[in-house]
């Protein structure tokens, strides 16, 4: 369990675990960037930009899409990284068995009632994805779909406020640039 290991070991074990889980997945950008760049980027935003130094939050950021997008189970997360990390990952995982519209609606509802740890992961996840949309348009997306993502992301972010000044300011300037 992560709490019994030194932080460097935990982080490397976790990056490797996530990389193995996401190994066959690519991002939707024309370059088909390896998917693992996203969870690593979210963790990097938290450490490097938001100055978050809680190991459980960083591990949860690295793992945040493993259950949603791969065959990983919550018990596997708990066995390898402990119950605190499991709880955060649970909070940020969409139920993929629900229709997309319902999943998107639930993210707005769940944002408000999330723990501060889960809110940090969500803020960094949204910041990464919005920056990524500004960098490259996913294949098959048009400008309207990009705009709709910004509009929806803003509704989620409103519920995450009061958590981290830096992340909220970065997100606000992205919304402002799009007049959202
Ligand atoms: N901007 C961007 N996103 C990409 C790209 N490739 C994959 N994604 C992922 O796509 C998701 C957003 O696309 P949608 O069509 O809205 O959602 P869906 O994949 O869940 O159906 C994000 O999931 P998520 O991380 O789970 O976040 P969330 O949007 O569900 O909060 C994001 O990580 C890419 O090249 N650019
Ligand atoms: Mn994500």
Residue 1 has pLDDT above 60, yes or no: no
Query: Is 113 assigned a catalytic role?
Result: no
Helix pair angle (143-158, 116-135), 10° resolution = 160
User: pLDDT by residue (tens digit) across 38-92?
Assistant: 999 999 999 999 999 999 999 999 999 999 999 999 999 999 999 999 999 999 9
In the prediction, which pLDDT does 2 show?
A: 46
Ligand 1, CB within 6 Å, residue ranges: 27-29, 38, 65, 68, 94, 100, 125, 129, 132-133, 138, 149
Distance 129 CA to ligand 1 centre (A): 7
pTM as predicted: 0.97
In the prediction, which pLDDT does 5 show?
A: 84
Helix pair angle (37-44, 116-135), 10° resolution = 120
In the prediction, which pLDDT does 4 show?
A: 66
What DSSP designation does 49 have? I
Using CA atoms, how far residue 105 sits from 65, 89, 153, 159, in Å, is 18, 19, 11, 12
Distance 6 CA to ligand 1 centre (A): 32
Residue 3 has pLDDT above 70, yes or no: no
Farthest-apart Cα atoms in the chain, separation: 48
Neighbours of 156 (CB within 10 A): 20
Average pLDDT over residues 118-144: 98
User: pLDDT by residue (tens digit) across 90-122?
Assistant: 999 999 999 999 999 999 999 999 999 999 999
Q: Report residue 85 as tokens.
A: 């990390």
Nearest by Cα to 74 from 61, 92, 87: 87
Helix pair angle (74-81, 7-21), 10° resolution = 150
User: Which ligand 1 atom is the nearest neighbour of the CA of 38?
Assistant: 33
DSSP reduced 3-state for 137: coil
Out of 49, 54, 68, 90, the active site residue is: 68
Q: What is the residue whose two structure tokens read 């390896």? A: 34
Query: Is 69 assigned a catalytic role?
Result: yes
User: pLDDT by residue (tens digit) across 146-170?
Assistant: 999 999 999 999 999 999 999 999 9
HSE on the CB side for 161, CA within 13 Å?
9
User: Which ligand 1 atom is the nearest neighbour of the CA of 128?
Assistant: 1
């Amino acid at each position: 369990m992560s709490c019994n290991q030194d932080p460097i070991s935990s982080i490397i074990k976790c990056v490797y675990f996530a990389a193995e889980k996401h190994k066959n997945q690519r991002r939707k950008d024309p370059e088909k960037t390896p998917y693992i760049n996203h969870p690593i980027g979210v963790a990097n935003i938290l450490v490097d930009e938001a100055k978050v130094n809680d190991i459980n939050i960083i591990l949860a950021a690295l793992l945040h899409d493993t259950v949603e997008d791969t065959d990983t189970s919550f018990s596997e997360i708990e066995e390898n990284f402990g119950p605190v990390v499991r709880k955060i990952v649970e909070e940020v995982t969409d139920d993929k068995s629900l229709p997309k519209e319902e999943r998107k609606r639930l993210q707005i509802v769940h944002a408000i009632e999330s723990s501060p740890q889960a809110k940090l992961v969500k803020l960094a996840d949204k910041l990464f994805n919005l920056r990524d949309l500004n960098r490259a348009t996913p294949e098959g997306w048009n400008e309207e779909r990009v705009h709709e993502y910004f509009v929806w992301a803003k509704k989620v972010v409103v519920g995450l406020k009061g958590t981290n000044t830096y992340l909220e300011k970065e997100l606000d300037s992205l919304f402002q640039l799009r007049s959202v």
